[in-house]
Amino acid sequence: MGNRYLQADLNTFSVKRVYGVTVLTSIFSDGEMSSKDGIVLSATSVDRQFGSILNGLHISSCKVGYLPNLDLITAVEQACRNQSVGPVVLDPILFDETGSPILDDTAFSKYVTDLIPLANVITPTIEEAEKIVGFEITSDDDVIHAANELRGIGVQNVLIKGSNEHQGRDNIRDYVLLEDGDDFWLTDKHAPFPQPSGKDDALSACITAELANGQKTENAIRTAKEFITDATRNVLQVGDSIESINFWS
Q: What is the DSSP string of 195-235?
A: PPBTHHHHHHHHHHHHHHTT--HHHHHHHHHHHHHHHHHS-
Give 32's pLDDT tier (boundaries 50, 70, 90).
low
Question: What does CATH list as the number for 3-244?
Answer: 3.40.1190.20
Is 1 a residue whose pLDDT tops 60?
A: no
pLDDT tens for 107-155 read: 999 999 999 999 999 999 999 999 999 999 999 999 999 999 999 999 9
> Poorest-confidence range of 157-161, 180-184, 196-200, 224-228?
196-200
Is 191 a residue whose pLDDT tops 70?
A: no
pLDDT of residue 159: 99
Specify whether the CB–CB gap between 170 and 140 falls below 8 A: no
pLDDT of residue 166: 57
Helix axes 217-233, 199-212, angle to 10 degrees: 140
Geometric angle at alpha carbon 102, from 97 and 107, rounded to 5°:
165
**Global pTM value:** 0.92
pLDDT of residue 199: 87
Report how far Cα 30 is from the mean position of its chain's Cα atoms.
20
What are the angstrom distances between the C-alpha of 177 and each of 91, 143, 228?
A: 16, 10, 19
Which of the pair, 197 or 232, is modelled with greater confidence? 232
pLDDT of residue 36: 59
The dihedral region occupied by 149, where left means phi > 0, alpha psi between -120 and 50, and beta the remainder, is alpha
Q: How far is it, in rounded angstroms, from Cα 208 to Cα 21? A: 12
Backbone angles phi, psi at 158, to 5 degrees: -125, 135
Residue 125: DSSP 8-state: B
Using CA atoms in the order 115, 117, 119, 121, what is the torsion angle rounded to 10 degrees?
A: 130
Backbone angles phi, psi at 169, to 5 degrees: -60, -35
pLDDT of residue 73: 98
What are the angstrom distances between the C-alpha of 218 and each of 69, 159, 204?
A: 31, 10, 13
> Poorest-confidence range of 33-37, 131-135, 157-161?
33-37
Is 3 a residue whose pLDDT tops 60?
A: no
Q: How far is it, in rounded angstroms, from Cα 93 to Cα 72? A: 13
Average pLDDT over residues 58-63: 97
> Domain boundaries in the chain?
3-244
**101-106: long-range pairs with CB below 8 Å, 24+:** 101/131, 102/33, 102/68, 103/68, 103/69, 103/70, 103/73, 104/69, 104/70, 106/70
pLDDT of residue 2: 45
Average pLDDT over residues 154-165: 89
Residue count of the chain, please give it: 249
pLDDT tens for 8-19 read: 999 999 999 999
Is 84 a residue whose pLDDT tops 70?
A: yes
CB neighbour list of residue 12: distance below 8 Å, 6 or more residues apart: 201, 202, 205, 206, 209, 227, 247
pLDDT of residue 105: 98
